[in-house]
Chains A and B, each alone.
Chain A
Amino acid sequence: MARVGLILDGGTGDGQDTRGAADVAADRLRTLGFDVERLSLRTMAIAPCVGCFRCWIETPGRCVLEDDGREVARRVVGSDLVVLLTPIRFGGYSSELKKALDRLIPIISPFFRRIRGEVHHRRRYSRYPELVGVGVRAQERPLPDEEDLFEALVLRNAINLRAPRQAACVVDRDDPKRSVRATIGRALEQVAGR
């Protein structure tokens, strides 16, 4: 059975800021043998997480908000690899990507355990997808540490969302397509190339 690669596209506005990178990631995933699913988050009805924890203690594993946020969580759990695609904002994610990530807490357990000397949540499912962060930079003058920050954020997500492996890369929106292809390809192969 083919592996499933899910692209969570956190592009903003008309989506042009991430469309090229999304196409490149989809093509590369297909050549790596994945069935590709793409979710354009800005077009989806995903309400902000209200921090009620009812997805942990009332309806364990499922958010009580009945909108597309549930579908995103279901698709993430059903994937082998998830691409977190976003225009970079101050080294972090766009609000469009973040609104989907906030709704992923039902996929982990409320119970705590210690991992690498820190307290985190236990896994709910027996398997979780690999994570690949792809940041698209648009500013003429990149902020200092932007790439490092983006990589650090993806790593923190991988720990908390229990990803077995993770990678991150940053491309400039105006980079030649060949360069974008090479950068994103390397990040995907790093976790999915075997």
Chain B
Amino acid sequence: MTTTRPSVLLLVGSPKGLERGSSARLGRLLVDGLTQRGWASNAIHLHAAVANDEGRRELVAAVDQADVVVLAAPLYVDYLPAPAVRALECIAANRQERRGESRPRFVSLIQCGFVEPNQNDTCQRILERFADHAGLEWVTGISLGSAGRIVKRGRRALALLAEALDLEILVPQEVQQLSQSPRAPGWLYVLAGNLMWRRLARRHGSAGQLDARPDARP
């Protein structure tokens, strides 16, 4: 007798791809938690997938076949990067036509470059509506600030989430609590961030020009 392993599909919505960047790293942490429990996994880079018909077809087919879909993406101008939005449009359009055939569970991991994880809230709410619209079962949205840098408690949150997905139990409240509090006071983040930009500017020979206004009105 053979048993089919449950499968998780990781959708990475960052331009940096499947190997680099915070979004891919966060997504992999969650997916690894599931593969260690015997799950099969697949990953798609959304920027590449939506660029042509074949990629879009593979994307929507992969979503239909998954038991759990994990979207890991950065916050760009308060929402997902445009190619990730395009992916949602494709998935929703496909699943509207095939409603009822399957109902994968959906998890979103969104990280922003500000210190406050709650700056992702609007994006998460839109993703919840997307899940409803596309016939996916919304599980939870994990929001991270500080460009997705996670410490021990963030890893613990993702491990608990993997366990809940595997056991098909409710996501413990602890998962949200572990991920949602800012990692640093706002004033410190501002200070450290501004020092970082100045250091990067010096490295690129643009120190003193960071406030340039090339398109200022006359």
Query: Residues on A close to B: CB < 8 A?
Result: 12, 48-51, 53, 56-62, 73-74, 77-78, 89-95, 98-99, 101-102, 104-105, 107, 109-114, 117-120, 124-127, 143-146, 149, 152-153, 156-157, 160-161
Nearest Cβ distance between residue A113 and chain B, in whole angstroms?
6
Q: Are A89 and B85 in contact (CB under 8 A)?
A: yes
Known contacts A118-B116, A119-B190; is-contact A57 B85 (Cβ 8 Å) = no
Pick the contact of A152: B116, B125, B200 (CB < 8 A).
Answer: B125
Contact of B86 with A by CB under 8 A: yes
Provide the residues of chain A in CB contact with B119, threshold 8 Å: 118, 156
Cα distance A185–B215 in the bound complex, in angstroms: 30
B78 touches A160 (CB 8 A): yes
Nearest CB of A to B193, in Å? 5
Please tell me if B29 contacts chain A, counting CB pairs below 8 Å. Answer: no
With A61-B212, A77-B216, A102-B76 already in contact, the answer to whether A48 and B82 are too (CB < 8 A) is yes
Complex contacts, A112 vs chain B, CB 8 Å: 114, 189-190, 193-194
Report the bound CA distance from A141 to B89 in whole Å: 17
Set of chain A residues within 8 Å of B100, measured between Cβ atoms: none
* B residues apposed to A, CB below 8 Å: 14-16, 21, 47, 74, 76-83, 85-86, 88-89, 92, 114-116, 119, 122-123, 125-127, 129-130, 132-133, 186-187, 189-190, 193-194, 197, 200-201, 203-204, 206, 209-217
Query: Given the complex of chains A and B, what is the CA–CA distance between A139 and B204 in angstroms?
Result: 49
Give complex CA distance A74, B215 in Å: 6
B77 and A61: CB pair below 8 A? no
CA distance A127 to B206 in the complex (A): 23
Which residues of chain A have C-beta atoms less than 8 A from B92's C-beta? 89-90
Q: Is the CB of B125 within 8 A of A60?
A: no
Contact A124 B213 (CB under 8 A): yes
Given contacts A90-B133, A91-B129, A118-B114, contact A160 B77 (CB under 8 A): yes
Q: Which of B125, B197, B203 lies in contact with A56, CB distance below 8 A?
A: B197
29 A-B residue contacts at CB 8 Å?
A: A48-B81, A48-B83, A49-B81, A56-B197, A57-B203, A60-B211, A61-B214, A62-B215, A92-B126, A98-B76, A99-B82, A101-B82, A110-B197, A111-B197, A111-B210, A112-B190, A112-B194, A113-B190, A114-B190, A118-B114, A118-B116, A118-B119, A119-B115, A119-B186, A125-B215, A146-B129, A149-B126, A152-B125, A156-B122
- Which residues of A are found within 8 Å of B14, using beta-carbon distances? 51
Kindly provide the distance from the CB of B196 to the nearest chain A CB, expressed in whole angstroms.
9
A98-B125 CB under 8 A given contacts A90-B92, A112-B194, A113-B190: no
Closest beta carbon of chain A to B187's beta carbon, Å: 7
On whether A92 and B210 interact (CB within 8 A), knowing A112-B193, A156-B122, the answer reads no
- Can you add 17 more A-B contacts, CB < 8 Å, to A91-B129, A94-B85? A49-B81, A51-B74, A56-B210, A57-B200, A60-B206, A77-B215, A78-B215, A95-B83, A95-B85, A95-B89, A98-B82, A105-B77, A118-B114, A119-B190, A119-B193, A126-B216, A157-B78
Contacts of B212 in A (CB 8 A): 60-61, 124
The answer, among A107, A111, A113, A119, for a CB contact under 8 Å with B215, is: A107
Distance A139 CA – B74 CA, assembled complex (angstroms) = 28
Are A91 and B216 CB-contacts (below 8 A) given A98-B80, A104-B77? Answer: no
Chain B residues contacting A101 (CB-CB under 8 Å) are 76-77, 82
The residues of A that contact B132 with a CB separation of less than 8 Å are: 143-144
